[in-house]
Structure 1
Amino acid sequence: MLIKPTTDIETCRRLRRIVFIHEQGVPEADELDDLDGQAIHLLATVDGVPTGSARLIAMGETGKIGRVCVLRDARGTGLGAALIRQAVEIFRTMPGITRAKLGSQTHAIGFYERLGFVTTGPQYDDAGIPHRDMVLTF
């Protein structure tokens, strides 16, 4: 497994399309936005095959982790946790960033809690899927 920043946004978008649009039924208009150009994209590969990705955006003192996806066959292998750890590490090295934040689908809250994130605020709907915000303070 290899996780590194990439400029290959199209590969990340293909992975997101599979997971969010095809598997989870997220409308394409909700998945595609104008933030990809300002983001750091992480691409995870297994044996050279793109398998997961995440999008990182610095917003003031907050590092926003979003669009985290792992292909079905690689779920439960530790790849998702490795993606999040790498994202957090990148934000920790950025001057002025004091916390990482993400919007977790409610079924994944336990996954992020095991990585040190804490839920904040009420549950909300994002593209028809219940979410809660989660924060990790450095």
Structure 2
Amino acid sequence: MSTNKQATVRIALGTWDRLREDAYSVRHEVFVVEQKVPPEVEMDDDDAVSVHAVAYGPDGAPMGTGRLLPDGHIGRMAVHKRARGMGVGGQLLDALIEQGHGDGHRMLVLHAQTHAAGFYQAHGFSVEGEEFIEAGIPHVVMTRVLK
């Protein structure tokens, strides 16, 4: 067992049709159950047009998810409580950044829950503007320019 607690995960990228069940299971658990976001707010039409990433643990269970919209917006980043602090979110974010780069985006944008801003800053994102409330939770807009 390594001391840095880096989880061994497999990241799958794909369409909502392909990854819906696993992505939704993580998002429902984190956003709806844990953070009390109304299900009708959590689900939206952007899922159908986004590239989704799902992190799977050694047991094949989904541990985390995120999505990249066609406009370069990263969203719905969520990691199961049992998998937090093991680098799963970072691996998901790196996969989405790489996807955005490959798609030719010059800049990526996300709405970070304020408590998670440091995580995104460690991955090259910068806070833009003031804090705002989204789904009852404080957020900040963050951007990252791609080279």
User: In 2, Cα distance between the equivalents of 1:88 and 1:126?
Assistant: 23
Counterparts of 1:93 and 1:43 in 2: how far apart (Å)?
A: 18
1:91-115 CA deviation, whole Å, 9 max, x = no partner?
11113x1011110000000111111
Counterpart Cα distance in 1 of 2:112 and 2:10: 23
30, 50, 55: which one aligns with 2:62 = 50
Structure 1 counterpart of 2:32, one-letter code: I
Tell me which residue corresponds to 1:130.
Answer: 138
Q: What are the Cα deviations for residues 34-87 of structure 1, in whole angstroms up to 9, with x where unaligned? A: 11111111110011111111011121xxx1110000000110000101110110
Shift of 1:10: 2.1
SS at match of 1:35: helix
1:68 is the counterpart of 2:77: yes
Structure 1, unaligned runs of 5 or more: none
Quote the Cα distance in structure 1 between the aligned partners of 2:47 and 2:119. Answer: 25
1:22 corresponds to which residue?
33
Alpha-carbon shift at residue 29 of structure 1 (Å) = 1.3
Counterpart of 2:86 (choices 70, 73, 77) is: 77
In structure 2, the residue matched to 1:4 is: 12
Given the two structures, how large is their TM-score scaled by the length of structure 2? Answer: 0.88
* TM-score normalised to structure 1 length: 0.94
Asked whether 1:101 is paired with 2:104, we answer: no
Distance 1:45 1:10 in 2: 13
Which string of whole-angstrom CA distances, capped at 9 and with x for unpartnered residues, describes residues 109-135 of structure 1?
011111110000211100000000000
Provide the rounded CA distance (Å) in 1 between the counterparts of 2:55 and 2:31.
17
Alpha-carbon RMSD: 0.8
How many residues get paired? 134
Identity of aligned residues (%): 37
Give 3-state SS (helix, strand or coil) of 1:8's partner. helix
SS in 1 for 2:73: strand
